[in-house]
Structure 1
Amino acid sequence: MVQPLVAVSTDVKQFENYTWHAAPQQYLEAALAVANVFPVLVPSFGDRLDLDCLLDTVDGVMVTGSKSNVHPSLYGGDASEANGPYDPARDATTLPLIRRAIERGVPLLAICRGIQELNVALGGTLATEIQEREGALDHRAPVSDNQDERFAIRQKVSIKPGSCLAGVFGAGEIMVNSVHRQGVGRLGTRLEVEALAEDGTVEAVSVRDARAFAVGVQWHPEYWAKSDDNSARIFRAFGDAVRAHAIARSGVRTAAE
């Protein structure tokens, strides 16, 4: 009985006089406790990494959320300070990792910044400061020092009938904790819309004709994965896909089987 490995993206941070490659604990905890997979942090070293070697070893990829934004030069946007902060080392790592995981049929879960990276990786664009659009909802977190309040489940999204996520949640509306100020602009090649907010903002996508689970969500299922059923469902679905990939690749039964 083995626990399959999942590659997890990292942010590059400067503190304590060091450069850190790090990921928030909520994502790691949700992967370990709810998806029942072994999260492994991937340093953001860009083309210095042998991604095929990595994908020979892991059975899934999880791309996390972050305060930073994808650099607009990667999709023809406005690279102003207002659209930051940026993390070019992460961009140089996650975008090729996403593309290669899809090509190789490795299960992929992309969350918040992750769905935006997925869209850009497949040729899409991002819309900035979406709360300023006429008729748009304000998808930003409330100003608070309380993380539970900032990530509270307060927004309704509609799951597309017949979609990949309809198989996870059922078609119809669910409540989520979508916290962002930019989102999907022009949809990337091969992407299908899985869920929309009430104002039409794209809240989830999947990769058309993917060989494995390949989904991006704009909300934060990691935050309440231990206590909210809908948050847990997507991690369980991802974990099931990871285990199926592990079995197909090696024939070894995994910890949740």
Structure 2
Amino acid sequence: MSVPLVAIPCDIREIEGNVWQATPNQYVRAAVKGADVMVFLVPAQENGHDFDGILDRVDGLLVSGSRTNVHPSLYGAQATEADGPFDPARDATTLPLIRRAIERGIPLLAICRGIQELNVALGGTLANDIQDTPGIWDHRKPDVPELDEAYGIRQNVIVKEGSCLAAAVGPGEIQVNSLHRQAISRTAPRLAVEALAEDGTIEAVSVIDSKAFAVGVQWHPEYWVGTDGTSNKLFKAFGDAVRDYAARKQHTSEKAGAA
């Protein structure tokens, strides 16, 4: 069997006047090295996608973090300037891809903006600038020049026993690098809360009754793949699910060819 292929939707970026389709290399690197898969970058478009055509060609979906936020209109809220920046092309790409991947039983790992997209795609809402809420910590990325320090593992998260995430990384307390100013507010009906920060912020979810691995985390396991045990375990679990899906897909194809 060939190396499985995982789709990563892109962001729209403007660089020196040119519009780029882009994704941070840390996600590509983590998929290749941590999950042992190859990567297919999906362009962000506001219309024109054939979502089933994309998913026919891949064995998993990895939804990355981003500097942009899901547009509040997509979860029934009024948008303000403070809620941005926005990327409508990414929203129009990721939300349908997430829903269709879940329907088809294609393994899914959603990170940072990805967990927020997963929640919105399935009917949940988001809270902005959570650090202004009494009792909630400041989860934002530290304003330091060194990325290793900015993405440092410094926050405790409690993983629910018996959860999908616990099967991958173990139950109880783990340490993560959670960097965000938005978070899940109302959890989508199809999502189960898998992990909480000590201040009660939702840090991980899974899709209830999913046909395959379908997990979202608010932190950044992709950054420390190769050196952090929890990050490695999560990407390995995703990679194992992708390989299992690819093997089943190939077996079905071979049976159909022999018929």
- TM-score in terms of structure 2 length: 0.95
d(CA) in 1 for partners of 2:77 and 2:178?
A: 23
Q: For residues 20 and 125 of structure 2, what CA distance do their matches in structure 1 show? A: 28
For 2:142 and 2:124, locate their aligned partners in 1 and report how far apart those are by CA, in whole Å: 28
1:2 is displaced (CA, Å) by 1.2
Residue of structure 2 equivalent to 1:255: none
1:113 aligns with: 113
Query: SS at 2:221's partner residue?
Result: coil
Q: Deviations over 1:52-83 (max 9, x none)?
A: 01111100000000010000010122311111
Aligned to 1:20: 20
Provide TM-score, normalisation by structure 1.
0.96
Counterpart of 2:74 in structure 1 is: 74
Is 2:44 the counterpart of 1:38?
A: no
- Which amino acid in the other structure matches residue 234 of structure 2? I
- For residues 139-178 of structure 1, the C-alpha deviation after alignment (integer angstroms, 9 at most, x for no partner) is 0111111111111000000000110011011110000000
Alignment deviations for residues 9-49 of structure 1 (CA, whole Å, 9 cap, x no partner)? 11001113321111000000000011001111000114311
- Structure 1 residues 170-204: Cα deviation after superposition (integer angstroms, max 9, x where no partner): 11000000000010010012100000000000000
Within-5 A mapping of 1:146-157: 146-157=146-157
The share of aligned pairs that are identical, in percent, is 61
Count of aligned residue pairs for this structure pair? 252
The equivalent of 2:209 in structure 1 is: 209
What is the alpha-carbon distance in structure 1 between the residues aligned to residue 189 and residue 56 of structure 2? 26
2:245 corresponds to which residue? 245
4+ residue segments displaced more than 4 Å: none
Write the distance in 2 (CA, Å) between the matches of 1:171 and 1:250. 33
The 1-side partners of 2:222 and 2:166 are apart by 19
Q: Which amino acid is the alignment partner of residue 219 of structure 1?
A: W
Separation (CA, whole Å) in 1 of partners of 2:84 and 2:149:
24
Q: Which letter does structure 1 place at the counterpart of 2:96?
A: P
State the match for 1:199 in structure 2.
199
State whether residues 126 and 182 of structure 2, in contact with CA within 8 Å, keep that contact through their aligned partners in structure 1: yes
Which stretch of the first structure deviates more once superposed, 17-26 or 60-69? Answer: 17-26
Higher helix fraction: Structure 1 or Structure 2?
Answer: 2
Q: Does 1:137 find its partner at 2:137? A: yes
- For structure 2, the residue ranges without an aligned partner over 5 or more in a row are 253-259
How is 1:119-198 mapped onto 2 (pairs within 5 angstroms)? Answer: 119-198=119-198
**SS of 1:48 mapped into structure 2:** coil
Unaligned runs of 5+ in 1: 253-257
- 2:97 equivalent in structure 1: 97
8 Å CA contact 2:46, 2:88 repeated in 1:
no
* Separation of aligned partners in 2, 1:241 and 1:146: 34
| One-letter amino acid matched to 1:192 | A
C-alpha distance in structure 2 between counterparts of 1:71 and 1:215, whole Å: 22
How many Å apart are 1:111 and its aligned residue? 0.2
